[in-house]
Chain A
Amino acid sequence: MSESSGKTGLSRPQVAWRAAQDLVDGSVVNLGIGIPEMVADFVPDDRQIIYHTENGVLGFGPRPAPEDEDPDLINAGKKPVSLLPGASFFHHADSFAMIRGGHLDYCILGAMQVSEDGNLANWSTGAPDAIPAVGGAMDLVAGVPNVFIITDHVTRKGQPKLMKACTYPLTAVGVVKRVFTDYGVFDVTEKGFRITEIAPGLTVSEVEAKTDAPLEISDHLKLIETPSNI
């Protein structure tokens, strides 16, 4: 184990870069608030991705220069965005018709826990003094066909987040397709988590030790090679 040598595995930008490689050209994608938003920075230049935000914009772009910000043009994280050619606006019921009706291709969200049967917990710890807040997460994972998760492999206290069963309140049952962590890439299959790619400097047994659920190891297990500038 290499715990004494500090942080192991991929950095957060590297995890976002790795997730971006799996978005197919021409897709419509909803990125969750926080780390998932970073994915947009790493989509290969030869792919066109259209970004959807649940507050009613399709085809938005990066944060504009401060003088071009408009408080009426924000994303779901309530941050200013710009518009790309071909953008459109729509009201909330239409926005969630896009989501629930299966018209988006991917959503990428963060997680508190994911279970081996694809259950997701990402909205509440269930603590009695917590202010419950769910936003659009339950709708996204119920309606978007490809639900990808980006998360640290373990909590700040070192507890696993890839679980046999979630202990936090669920966001949805059986929806997660793939999980990208600082330790590797994990598909959710009928048999549970399958590790398909592993971060440099880690062994499978080290990953298993930090995972609550058993891991199936892909016959084609690959080492993740990230560009040197990320």
Chain B
Amino acid sequence: MIDKICPSVEVAIAGIKEGATIMVGGFGEAGSPIELIHALIDKGVGDLTIINNNAGNGAVGLAALIGAGQVRKIVCSYPRSSNSKIFSELYRRGEIELELVPQGTLAERIRAGGAGIPAFYTPTSLGTPLAEGKEVREIKGRNYVLEYNLTADIALIRAEKADTLGNLTYNKAARNFGPIMAMAATTTIVQAREVVQAGEINPEVVVTPGLFVDQIIEITNPAIESQLINEGVSYP
């Protein structure tokens, strides 16, 4: 029988290995799976490649994971943060690698990774430093840049509701990268605010179908990143 529900965050992330490539959902704090990230810090696995839109805020969540020295490389569109120097200091010291990707190209590379599309042509970044070294092809009279897909060993996602088969709904703009990262990773691990029995989510409102989800942990009251930052919390 299919059973995707995990008894603890430790069990949920037990399979994450040193050197893994991990897609982490969220746009800033919206949709950030903060309990899963903190469990990853507790576990201590390193040499990670992280794919996220940003590079963390304050000294919690993704910023804390980077600060713990567990991240070798980050793939993102906007690593600057008004309230965190963790990434920028490591970057200036040459201790973390950055692959800067325009946000829409990042999303489409992830989507392509989940959809079995190895690469695609896009008008974004044409004629800019971010297109240097990339193949450019004229299609129907306009030039486009070739971009390759992104896949990952693991996706860490925050959802609003999950059923026991892994069908997901999200909360408002916390959806952002969750649905496409769930598609693009070999193993997708979800923290959901509420877990319900299969059949309790109307199939018409399922956003991520259950086949994209492997493991679920219920976190009824997830920490709110901006509140932690306002309280001066740094993790661990």
Contacts and interface: CB of A to CB of B under 8 A. Distances in A.
A89 B178 contact: no
Interface stretch (A5-13, A149-157, A168-176): A168-176
B123 interface: yes
Interface residues of B, number: 50
A139 B103 contact: yes
Given A72-B171, A72-B174, A74-B28, A99 B180 contact: no
A209 interface: no
A95 B129 CA distance: 24
Contacts of A222: none
B108 A142 contact: no
A132 B98 contact: yes
A56 B173 contact: yes
Given A139-B105, A169-B128, A170-B127, A131 B170 contact: no
Contacts of B128: 138, 169-173
A138 B179 contact: no
A95 B176 CA distance: 9
B23 to A, nearest CB: 12
A103 to B, nearest CB: 13
Contacts of B110: 92-93
The SS class assigned to the B binding surface is mixed
Bin the interface of chain A by size.
35 or more
A45 to B, nearest CB: 27
Contacts of B187: none
The SS class assigned to the A binding surface is loop
A78 interface: yes
A135 B178 contact: no
Contacts of B122: 100, 142
A91 B107 CA distance: 9
A100 B29 contact: no
Given A91-B207, A92-B107, 12 more contacts: A55-B176, A56-B175, A72-B173, A91-B176, A91-B177, A93-B108, A96-B103, A131-B80, A132-B98, A134-B77, A138-B125, A139-B103
16 contacts: A53-B173, A89-B170, A91-B179, A92-B106, A93-B111, A124-B129, A131-B92, A133-B77, A133-B79, A135-B78, A135-B103, A136-B102, A139-B102, A142-B122, A142-B126, A172-B126
Interface of B: 27-31, 53, 77-80, 87-88, 91-92, 98, 100-108, 110-111, 122-130, 170-180, 207, 224-226
